[in-house]
Amino acid sequence: MRLLVTGASGLLGGSVIQIATNKGHDVFSAYKEHPAARGKPVPLDQTHPAEVKETISKIKPHVIINTAAQSDVDFCEEHPDIAFAINSESVRYLATATREAGTFLLQVSTDYVFDGEKGSYLETDNPHPVNKYGLSKLEGERATILAGEGSWSIARPSVIFGWGRPLRPNAATYVHDKLSKHETVRMVRDQYCSPTFNKNLAAMLVEIAERQIPGILHTAGATRLSRYELALRIAHVFGLDKGLVIPATAEDIPWKATRPIDSSLIIERATTLLSQKPQSIDDSLIEFCTDQKIHAGHERIVACRA
């Protein structure tokens, strides 16, 4: 299968490309500034519709997996024009071009399309974002359907974590870095999510692409917990000091953008349909810990504790 993966140099895009190439797919890795280490590199600015159309027309991919996004929530709040250009308008250009090319579009969205008042969201629940990031991603979802009936899929993860982008830490790498240096870390205990390991998510996305499963799928981790609870589990798995994890409330954090109180996702549809199942947080963190050997360089490697 011929795949075009956007956001190729990102935490998720890189994992998608690695899994897809290992399975023998012909993968084109679209990037704006930093070429990916795997796949066939393709420079692409998705905010230019003519460039999007020309790239898709030239490559003729069977499936496009769009992992490109502006996912810094506070940045999106302060720069909504950029957020909507990347998270919404560029998806519209992709969807329009895929419809013309007869290509399947797999759009990666987010749990932040929900307001967090309910929690444990199903694919059929009505989205209602509370910040510009969530709204821009919701508009991206709405643009996806322009690809045409049966020709699109939307995957919603939650708090993606994993190794691979040292210059931009995520929830898990940030906690690991702080605790490894014996520094305290404040983590919110009154907001809930479904943390998603990047490699598990990537495997689900590749399967969705291979089977061209239409509609919306919640492809998050299988465990609902707060970021404080996540930090404690990271400390346990790596054998780090849990006492350095300081509980905080959302009111304690000077965020620019409001966060949903509980954006956890029900993953029953993905669990039923996919052979690559959403992982529990314990399984994900053991794999995350094991993967440290690839990214740690000369750092001391600790035994991973279940």
Domains of the chain: which residue ranges?
2-165+195-223+263-279
Question: How confident is the model at residue 34, as a pLDDT?
Answer: 85
Among the listed residues 31, 93, 112, 133, the single catalytic one is 133
Residue 124 has pLDDT above 60, yes or no: yes
pLDDT in tens, 190-235: 999 999 999 999 999 999 999 999 999 999 999 999 999 999 999 9
Question: How confident is the model at residue 99, as a pLDDT?
Answer: 96
The tokens describing 185, both together, are 């870390």
What order do you get walking across the sheet with 40-43 strand by strand?
40-43, 26-31, 2-6, 63-66, 104-108, 152-156, 215-218
Known catalytic residue at 133 = yes
State how far the Cα of 112 lies from the Cα of 198, in Å rounded to an integer: 17
Residue 260 has pLDDT above 60, yes or no: yes
Residue 101 has pLDDT above 70, yes or no: yes
What is the CATH superfamily name and number for domain 2-165+195-223+263-279? NAD(P)-binding Rossmann-like Domain (3.40.50.720)
Confidence of residue 306 (pLDDT cuts 50, 70, 90): confident
Question: How confident is the model at residue 295, as a pLDDT?
Answer: 64
